[in-house]
Amino acid sequence: MRVTPISAERLAGLAADRVADAFGAGAPWVRVAVDGAAAARPHVLADALVGPLRLRGHPVVRVSAADFLRPASLRLEYGRHDADAFHDLWLDDGALLREVLAPLDPGGSGRVLPSLWDAAADRATRAPYTELAPGGVLLLDGPLLLGRWLPFELTVHLAMGGPALARHTAEADRWTLPAFARYEEETRPRELADLTVKVDDPRHPALVESV
């Protein structure tokens, strides 16, 4: 395994190159997952990809997994701080597949719902659908996205070791740490992802490559 420091700008450029490769392989749309705990800042990388992709002529839709959580009655059925529920039940992956990812299958409509549920207000966002033209890119960020049989053309995993994750996780969210330990053990996201980036210090990412 080789770990190479990489700037945020070069990382965004590398991911954009991988998107271009997916289009070169014939994908009508490219669905990108940026997977990582909140402490790893997956939204920052997803946001950083928007500009390079648009400069290359690709329309972009940004979606956050935080806007596709289940209602509180289901999400919090086992209490507010149940790590297994956070791992298994919080994300409405069925809705994410139906409303965001499946419409971008070959032959799909391209009609994407950018958000579904406001978790803070515990009600539907009632966001309008948006049309993503062929050649467009869907950028999704969030935690625990891999190993769910969700279709992506490119997956990026922002990896944090256990001590680093504990150090960077807000006190109010430390109850989620066992869920991420389970994710590492059961799903092995570093092995599943197309790109794995070590972010024990999010300010200094490093590309992880098998050699």
Q: Is the pLDDT of residue 109 over 90?
A: yes
Can you tell me the distance from the alpha carbon of 57 to that of 44, in angstroms, rounded to the nearest whole number? 21
Element (H, E) at 181: helix 177-186
**What is residue 210's predicted lDDT score, i.e. its pLDDT?**
82
- Are residues 67 and 115 in contact, defined by beta-carbon separation less than 8 angstroms? yes
Predicted confidence band of residue 105 (pLDDT cuts 50, 70, 90):
very high
- Are residues 112 and 66 in contact, defined by beta-carbon separation less than 8 angstroms? no
**166-210: per-residue pLDDT in tens?**
999 999 999 999 999 999 999 999 999 999 999 999 999 999 988
Q: What is the CATH number of the domain that holds 76?
A: 3.40.50.300
Mean pLDDT value of segment 135-151: 97
3-state secondary structure of 138: strand
- Are residues 46 and 141 in contact, defined by beta-carbon separation less than 8 angstroms? yes
Backbone angles phi, psi at 190, to 5 degrees: -65, -30
Expressed as residue numbers, the domain containing 29 is 2-209
**5-36: per-residue pLDDT in tens?**
999 999 999 999 999 999 999 999 999 999 99
**Number of neighbours of residue 143 by Cβ within 10 angstroms:** 24
**58-91: per-residue pLDDT in tens?**
999 999 999 999 999 999 999 999 999 999 999 9
Q: Is the pLDDT of residue 211 over 80?
A: no
Predicted confidence band of residue 111 (pLDDT cuts 50, 70, 90):
very high
Overall number of domains in the chain: 1
CB within 8 A of 171, min separation 6: which ones?
none
The residues pairing with 197 across neighbouring beta strands, listed in sequence order, are 158, 207
Mean pLDDT value of segment 37-46: 97
Average pLDDT, the chain: 96
Dig out the tokens for 104 from the structure: 């971008």
Dig out the tokens for 24 from the structure: 């070169």
Can you tell me the distance from the alpha carbon of 183 to that of 178, in angstroms, rounded to the nearest whole number? 9
CB within 8 A of 84, min separation 6: which ones?
78, 178, 179, 182
Predicted confidence band of residue 1 (pLDDT cuts 50, 70, 90):
confident
